Structure 1
Amino acid sequence: MRWLPFFRNTSIRDPKIKVGIACVCLLLLSACGQSDPSTSSPTPAESKYQAPPTISADSANFNGPRSNYVTTKNTDGSTTVVDKVGNDGTINLSPSIKLLVFTDVSINLEIGTKSKEINNEALNAIIELYIAYFNRVPDANGLGYWIGEYKNGMSIDKIGDSFYAAAIQYSAYTGYSPTANNAEFITIAYRNILSRTPPDKAGLDYWTERLNAGTETRGNLIRVFLAAAHGYSGDKTYGWVAQLLDNKIAVAKEFALNQGITYLSYTDTILKCIYLLESVTPTDTSIANNNISSIIGYKATTTDIPSPAQASRFLSQASFGARKADITNLSAIGINSWLNQQFSVPQKLHRSYMDSTAATLAKGVADLNQNHFLESFWQQAINGEDQLRQRVNFALSQIFVVSFQDSSVANYPRGVASYYDTLGTHAFGNFRQLLEAVSLHPMMGLYLTSLRNQKESGTQVPDENYAREVMQLFTIGLYKLNPDGSYVLINGKPVETYSNADITGLAKVFTGWSWAGTDKSSTRFFGGNPDANRDWMPMQSYPASHSVSEKSFLGTVIPPQSPANPELSLKTALDTLFNHPNLAPFFSKQLIQRLVSSNPSPQYVARVASAFANNGQGVRGDMRAVIKAIYTDVEARNDPVLSNSGLGKLREPVLRLAQWMRTFNAKSTSGFFRLTSMDDPLTSIGQTPMRSPSVFNFYRPGYVPPNSSIAIAGLVSPELQITGETSVVGYLNFMRDALPNGTGTSRDVKADYSTLTSLANTPDQLINEIDLLLTAGQMSSNLRSQILAAINSVTIPSSPASSADTARLNRVYLSIYLTMASPEYLVQK
């Protein structure tokens, strides 16, 4: 078909159009594995990198997680282990060593050889029992045990009986209850083996009747179902059942046999091996295999000096978009030098812009509105030299949320500009100072009602809003975490981080704080006699309104005070939160999600959390160390396997728009970048900086699209919470209009395509350039051929010159539009 000229007055309004965003799965939330209690590995020494590895007759215990080490099996049966991170060095182990124990998993070195001692049919049958009864992949130590039992004469039927007994014993994990009736048993078997939930009524009734009559036994029924699953191979309707079972077996062998993995914790082995199996689909094992790779440790494929494509990918994560000159510069100086340079670029304050603008307005500051802040935001986002600060600042604004959508906050646009500055000021500082600055900023005080918060008196109790959110959203989260961000579980259930009593106790800390000013009178506390700069100056304490009773929270007790000491109370509370073991993994994971990947592996989270806990010089909370750890981690820097549906994150609308403007050197006719609210998802992009609908941001970090492949794989996709048919159509229409005509008030912002029009006569070169700038060299051959066909359908006439120029521009518009409309662009990998 021939493509219409791009400037024709047509638009996409059909709500049925989908770009395919919801079909893209992102990286697996947690790693997977589990063992029987009798076969679980010994617990290693605490990971402090002080003592050397402990080597016994048949095992070696190391001081770090498996991903920190490279292991090599030598031809003589010995094993060489090299520590890439800690001080364990290079260890050569004799052939007698059969087990390597790390701080997260153990590696069974003999399981591969042991598995060959029985025939493949029996091996597959044992693996299938794990799937049928436990709905998980086997761990290496557990599988090795049952291989031994089979070799010693125990039949598959008897092994199955043992599995069923264990499934009943651990019914909280398996669903096989000792009191389950036959219909309930069949329902679970359908789910685990045939992946059908709920079972069809006819099948359920048939098998229930046979079990009730004694014609079948439960053990035999499992074998029948497994045979049936394999029997579907090649079937047009149910062939996927056989393929799914085959894929699960393949992943199980990779995990247990090829890699020899067993988790040290019994709960981890159950739950994480369940998660691993659930990420497998009939057509895709990449998420599971990627997760296994994250446990073992990736081999670095990117050096500090990146190729142009690698540089473009890095800049899509660490800036608001890559310009050609930025790519060239980064490829020359390297990633670490670029980061160090960016850490030293001075900050330009948005409040200064607001003040200078106010000086031109009739009523000064009173005439400022949120559009003036948006002008400043886009000016800096597009043209700011401190691109790393710009990107991290935007990410922080989605964690420590304040929003113009709150009517009280909207009255203070200069205050919001100052709040955004505060996040930027501390983006490269220390988290403890960031947390205090956020807690005392009057815009946060207004937004979460800690400003003018009063002590208990009579029936009056302190406002609990900020106390709740500073724990739930800003620092420690709802549930206790392991260092890798996974939940601490007791009896298979996550453990709450805090109670209502903790909220009540912490709320007392945030009493007696209100507007800054020259005195601490009651009048000023309640907003009277306002200081001209109270919208940006930190809140000050008012001892008369501060609770003097005991404040108990998170295991910390502040004794009764006389006189009231709000500063001491605040310091104690913020220090408690800052030193809480949840903070490092909780915050690290959220920042990774905002910058690199929606579903970072537990190992990635643990490495960044380790940098948070200690920057290498004994300093906790060093933001520079955290940011550098995020961007230089092997999971962030390795060239992505594009077929892996578990990598990356969905680009949110603001990032797409910013990248278009920055990459194509957008200029503002007025010089102000007059882009106002873009909240409407149908007529605009559906997202405006600092206009989150709630304190939970535009989307929650744990959002899972319901009834999606992402949900089935056990993943999250935060940005999809604001993505739907309406917003997809709106985005396509918006970009189709903005590309040739510009955007903003009176088409104030227009891109400059002059460097691309010169390539329009050679479509391959044009596509190469667009691929480098927008998709970091990741464009598929299929997408490339589609864009090439579209470009070639636009003929460049020999004359007149104006028509030729128009045709060249249409080629540029088409190439950019079709790229930015593709899932390959929309998912940042």
Structure 2
Amino acid sequence: MGSTYFTSASWRALKRLGICALLCVVTACGQQNDSAETQAKVAYSGPPTVGASSIVFNGLRSNYTVSSTPSGLSVADKVGSDGTTIVSANIKSLIFNDVSINLEISSKANLISSSDLNSIIELYIAYFNRVPDANGLAYWIDQFKAGVSIDKIGESFYAAALIYSTQTGYSSSMSNADFVTIVYKNVLGRPTPDKEGLDYWTNALANGTETRGTLIHKMLGAAHTFNGDPTYGWVAKLLDNKNLVSREFAVTQGLSYVSETDSISKGMAIAATVTPLDTTVANGLISSLIGTAPNTKDLPTIGQASRFLGQASFGATSNDVNLLMSTGISNWIDAQFTKNQSSHKAYMDTTAAGMLNGISGLSQNNFFESFWQQAATGEDQLRQRATFALSEIFVISFQDSGVANYPRGVASYYDTLATGAFGNFRTLLENVSLHPMMGIYLTSMRNQKESGTRVPDENYAREVMQLFTIGLYQLNPDGSQVIVNGKPVETYSSADIQGLAKVFTGWSWAGPDKSNTRFFGGNADVNRDVLPMQSYPAYHSTSEKKFLGVTISAQSPANPEASLKVALDTLFNHPNVGPFIGKQLIQRMVTSNPSPQYVARVAAAFNDNGKGIRGDMRAVFKAILTDTEARNEPKLANAGTGKLREPVIRLANWMRAFGAKSTSTFFKLTSLDDPLTSLAQSPMRSPTVFNFYRPGYVPPNSEIANAKLVAPEMQIVAEPSVVGYLNFMRDIIPNGVGSSRDVKADYTNLIALSTTPDQLVDQVNLLLMANQMSSTLRNQIVGAVNSITIPATNTTNIDNAKKNRVYMAIYLTMASPEYLVQK
């Protein structure tokens, strides 16, 4: 890791964060959302007042839509009853409760050169680290045009900075070194100046070469010389990005806060979100301030985009966040439906081709390679995430010794789920039922008709009802149980299991013939592990089959295909399927405790996709992800909102957020089952057919139980797995994961932010927590990062310290209960 500091500091910071009490905290499932991206509306308090040169509106700027028309500007009230106000040519400003709009600033800005405008704007950045207000900028443009130099304007800025010392941190009694330190932070994004630079600028002030009014202009010029530098190019880029945001705020939008202190404090808050890599947070704050036009494309803010991707994919990346913000949620989902599916079986076949033993040389580790490669880098992220959710409903597992013998078969089964994720549930149900891996796992393969004392195997018949389609009890459309005489009504009986078991007789390995030898596993076809099971009429029950109110008459000759069709059609059309499957998919992707109304809306999409088609899985996933309950941010503080992130999801989040790459290109990960040294979870290694956890699991003696909520993922949480997860992430964040540390994150962009811990933490917050990190947690992590001192000399030590800051920020975030509970 380059330093032992990260190790000891991490544990001290964890202690401050209360991670030792993680189990207790997580079960509370609550968090305060301190970064709401919406602004409260104020009550209507009267019509606008039109003056000689301004119009005063009695509401926030975001309550109104300002539009250009052929005859000029119009201002439409979106909230109250003002209607539309036409702005005449003599009006110079529009004044709202929170901000004003300077209607002359754009034309004024065009009267000076772009470089001169930049110089004035950058004085705001350098002295206050804030965006300029339009009114102030207009005044200084006029002064500059009248002959006042940039240096003289700088002297005036310094005088103003002293007046607002509480906000700016300047004081007339501060030392030259303290002054230079503040300017370093504002101009260069570096809270700690290098000794050489500090001495140089301090001496310039001491000997009178520069004043506190002129020094900044010189430092700004020096900052721009870093443009393109491989080490410090980010300094110039940060300054350029702050300039762009400033132009958007003051020139394009013409905004000034009504309060002078707001102009400084809120202008500083906007500028503080700008990084060398990203301006979207700042632009999002401006958009929130001015209000947006009616959103016909459901374009999310940056935080909303990241939160959505946390539900709809294996995790947010900067590129995907930006794409989603420009395309909108519905369009993104529709585009995902068109992405090509990558085949895990094809990966296994390619791998086997390079082995001496061919297919027989494959192991489950080869499937893990393919899984993580697609999860981390696949463009079809919605399919990836949906498939993983389905794999936890239609369970098979490598932990079954029979299944473990066929890793290529498991890859093929996972492909079947991936195809079914965007297909029809009826097709998916049939493909699952006939897949040889399911046949092995739930013992429907080689299942024989009744004879003498032998009865058909009932395993699959039971589980296809209990787990894959209708559940144990009859449900209302909203997922609540049907209650009769105070008790829930069972969906099926032992007689139903016995009748349905007969349907699943006479199915076994695929091959070119239907001989007895092949039925029992002999004369194996090379592709039998990936081909659907075929029927063997000689072993199929011909007697009457009764189940779920349906009767299949006695057959002569046996007709396994006809029996299967009736059975699967009956299950598919059962009214329970929509709410039963829909609720579980909501739980896997959005929230453990969806409201009955949410379940009902998703069930309705299952029942009818809007075109009269039942079981359209595209409609189901779109309904889940676009539902108001999934997208409704005001409920983020509700303890019943969200879900615990399961370990596989956490590791995938880390890989995607930080661009993890495989040195070998194969993503050489193996089993992650060990709770003490790893994640206590590996894909396709569930301990039972009931998945890693039950959908209705309630942690005993917990606040969740007291609140009558469920927390499925908590079933695999215990003290050993908590400690194991912390140790695991503490190791892999700096060193990588997999065989020979094959998979490593790329922290290049974060290292560029390491000298500004607040910006570093904000970027981690965006990618891992969708900007939902509480101010308390943020302050704690920023403090912990700041505690790692970046030395002034020795390049190796400097680089190690920067990396350790990045490791610390990521580790403490991923260890926090706020991250573990996905909201």
TM-score (norm 2): 0.66
Render the CA deviation track for 1:676-705: whole Å, top value 9, x for unaligned.
001011100100000000000000000000
2:694 to 678, 685, 700: 700
Aligned partner of 1:166 in structure 2 is none
Does residue 571 of the first structure (1) align with residue 565 of the second (2)?
A: yes
Q: Secondary structure at the match of 2:6?
A: coil
Residue 325 and residue 700 in structure 1: after superposition, are their counterparts in 2 closer, same or farther (change >3 A)? same
Q: Secondary structure at the match of 2:513?
A: coil
Unaligned runs of 5+ in 2: 31-293
Aligned partner of 1:334 in structure 2 is 328
Q: Deviation of residue 641 (structure 1)?
A: 3.4
Letter in 1 for 2:720: T
Q: Secondary structure at the match of 2:546?
A: strand
Query: Matches of 2:296 and 2:603 in 1, distance apart?
Result: 22
Letter in 1 for 2:770: A
Aligned partner of 2:6 in structure 1 is 6
Query: Matches of 2:619 and 2:327 in 1, distance apart?
Result: 20
Aligned partner of 2:356 in structure 1 is 362
2:21 to 18, 24, 33: 18
Query: Matches of 2:818 and 2:808 in 1, distance apart?
Result: 16
Aligned partner of 2:477 in structure 1 is 483
Query: Matches of 2:297 and 2:377 in 1, distance apart?
Result: 28
Residue 22 and residue 552 in structure 1: after superposition, are their counterparts in 2 closer, same or farther (change >3 A)? farther
Q: Deviation of residue 638 (structure 1)?
A: 1.3
What aligned pairs does 1:130-145 form with structure 2 within 5 A after superposition?
A: none
Q: Secondary structure at the match of 1:581?
A: coil
Residue 21 and residue 615 in structure 1: after superposition, are their counterparts in 2 closer, same or farther (change >3 A)? farther
Query: Matches of 1:358 and 1:4 in 2, distance apart?
Result: 42
Query: Matches of 1:608 and 1:25 in 2, distance apart?
Result: 27
Aligned partner of 2:58 in structure 1 is none
Q: Secondary structure at the match of 1:6?
A: helix
Letter in 2 for 1:372: N
Is the CA contact (8 Å cut-off) linking 1:484 and 1:606 kept in structure 2?
yes
Is the CA contact (8 Å cut-off) linking 2:19 and 2:816 kept in structure 1?
no
Q: Secondary structure at the match of 1:732?
A: helix
Query: Matches of 1:682 and 1:599 in 2, distance apart?
Result: 29
What aligned pairs does 1:208-227 form with structure 2 within 5 A after superposition?
A: none
Render the CA deviation track for 1:62-119: whole Å, top value 9, x for unaligned.
xxxxxxxxxxxxxxxxxxxxxxxxxxxxxxxxxxxxxxxxxxxxxxxxxxxxxxxxxx
Query: Matches of 1:754 and 1:8 in 2, distance apart?
Result: 24
Aligned partner of 2:129 in structure 1 is none
Letter in 1 for 2:705: A
Render the CA deviation track for 1:110-153: whole Å, top value 9, x for unaligned.
xxxxxxxxxxxxxxxxxxxxxxxxxxxxxxxxxxxxxxxxxxxx
Is the CA contact (8 Å cut-off) linking 1:397 and 1:423 kept in structure 2?
yes
Aligned partner of 2:178 in structure 1 is none
Aligned partner of 1:394 in structure 2 is 388
What aligned pairs does 1:6-405 form with structure 2 within 5 A after superposition?
A: 6=6, 17-20=20-23, 23-25=26-28, 304-405=298-399
Q: Secondary structure at the match of 2:551?
A: strand
Residue 302 and residue 22 in structure 1: after superposition, are their counterparts in 2 closer, same or farther (change >3 A)? farther
Query: Matches of 1:557 and 1:606 in 2, distance apart?
Result: 30
Letter in 1 for 2:589: L
Single out whichever of 666-675 and 405-414 deviates more from structure 2: 666-675
Moved over 6 A (4+): 8-16, 300-303
Does residue 601 of the first structure (1) align with residue 595 of the second (2)?
A: yes
Q: Secondary structure at the match of 1:675?
A: coil
Letter in 2 for 1:19: L
Does residue 682 of the first structure (1) align with residue 676 of the second (2)?
A: yes
Q: Secondary structure at the match of 2:373?
A: helix
Render the CA deviation track for 1:492-520: whole Å, top value 9, x for unaligned.
11010000000000000000000000000
Is the CA contact (8 Å cut-off) linking 2:449 and 2:502 kept in structure 1?
yes
Q: Deviation of residue 18 (structure 1)?
A: 3.3
Aligned partner of 1:761 in structure 2 is 755
Residue 553 and residue 593 in structure 1: after superposition, are their counterparts in 2 closer, same or farther (change >3 A)? same
What aligned pairs does 1:586-735 form with structure 2 within 5 A after superposition?
A: 586-735=580-729
Aligned-pair Cα RMSD in Å: 1.9
Does residue 472 of the first structure (1) align with residue 475 of the second (2)?
A: no
Q: Secondary structure at the match of 1:17?
A: helix
Query: Matches of 2:591 and 2:676 in 1, distance apart?
Result: 27
What aligned pairs does 1:495-574 form with structure 2 within 5 A after superposition?
A: 495-574=489-568
Is the CA contact (8 Å cut-off) linking 2:25 and 2:817 kept in structure 1?
no
Q: Identical aligned pairs, as a percentage?
A: 69
Q: Secondary structure at the match of 1:619?
A: coil
Does residue 584 of the first structure (1) align with residue 578 of the second (2)?
A: yes
Is the CA contact (8 Å cut-off) linking 1:703 and 1:721 kept in structure 2?
yes
Aligned partner of 2:76 in structure 1 is none
Query: Matches of 1:23 and 1:767 in 2, distance apart?
Result: 22
Letter in 2 for 1:421: D
Is the CA contact (8 Å cut-off) linking 1:301 and 1:639 kept in structure 2?
no
Query: Matches of 2:611 and 2:295 in 1, distance apart?
Result: 28
Q: Deviation of residue 10 (structure 1)?
A: 9.1
Is the CA contact (8 Å cut-off) linking 2:19 and 2:815 kept in structure 1?
no
Render the CA deviation track for 1:639-693: whole Å, top value 9, x for unaligned.
1434311100000000000010111001111111111001011100100000000
Q: Secondary structure at the match of 2:463?
A: helix
Q: Deviation of residue 617 (structure 1)?
A: 0.5
Letter in 1 for 2:555: Q
Q: Deviation of residue 557 (structure 1)?
A: 0.3
Q: Secondary structure at the match of 1:557?
A: strand
Residue 328 and residue 580 in structure 1: after superposition, are their counterparts in 2 closer, same or farther (change >3 A)? same
Q: Deviation of residue 719 (structure 1)?
A: 0.2
Letter in 2 for 1:714: K
Residue 302 and residue 814 in structure 1: after superposition, are their counterparts in 2 closer, same or farther (change >3 A)? farther
Query: Matches of 2:23 and 2:443 in 1, distance apart?
Result: 41
Residue 380 and residue 629 in structure 1: after superposition, are their counterparts in 2 closer, same or farther (change >3 A)? same
Render the CA deviation track for 1:737-793: whole Å, top value 9, x for unaligned.
111111111111111100001111111111111111111010001101100110111
Query: Matches of 2:501 and 2:479 in 1, distance apart?
Result: 27
Residue 559 and residue 364 in structure 1: after superposition, are their counterparts in 2 closer, same or farther (change >3 A)? same
Query: Matches of 2:406 and 2:746 in 1, distance apart?
Result: 35
Is the CA contact (8 Å cut-off) linking 2:297 and 2:327 kept in structure 1?
no
Query: Matches of 1:308 and 1:473 in 2, distance apart?
Result: 38
Letter in 2 for 1:668: S
Aligned partner of 2:798 in structure 1 is 804
Query: Matches of 1:684 and 1:21 in 2, distance apart?
Result: 21
Render the CA deviation track for 1:291-339: whole Å, top value 9, x for unaligned.
xxxxxxxxx9997100010000000000111110110010000001100
Q: Deviation of residue 9 (structure 1)?
A: 11
Aligned partner of 2:113 in structure 1 is none
Query: Matches of 2:687 and 2:377 in 1, distance apart?
Result: 28
Letter in 2 for 1:743: V
Is the CA contact (8 Å cut-off) linking 1:612 and 1:625 kept in structure 2?
yes
Q: Say which one has the larger Rg.
A: 2
Does residue 778 of the first structure (1) align with residue 777 of the second (2)?
A: no
Render the CA deviation track for 1:199-220: whole Å, top value 9, x for unaligned.
xxxxxxxxxxxxxxxxxxxxxx
Q: Secondary structure at the match of 1:552?
A: strand
Is the CA contact (8 Å cut-off) linking 1:25 and 1:646 kept in structure 2?
no
Query: Matches of 1:788 and 1:319 in 2, distance apart?
Result: 28
Render the CA deviation track for 1:559-592: whole Å, top value 9, x for unaligned.
0000000000000000000000111100000110
Query: Matches of 2:11 and 2:586 in 1, distance apart?
Result: 36
Render the CA deviation track for 1:382-430: whole Å, top value 9, x for unaligned.
0111000000000000000000000000000000000000000111000
Query: Matches of 1:22 and 1:774 in 2, distance apart?
Result: 19
Q: Secondary structure at the match of 2:600?
A: helix
Query: Matches of 1:670 and 1:608 in 2, distance apart?
Result: 42
Letter in 1 for 2:410: V
Query: Matches of 2:396 and 2:9 in 1, distance apart?
Result: 39
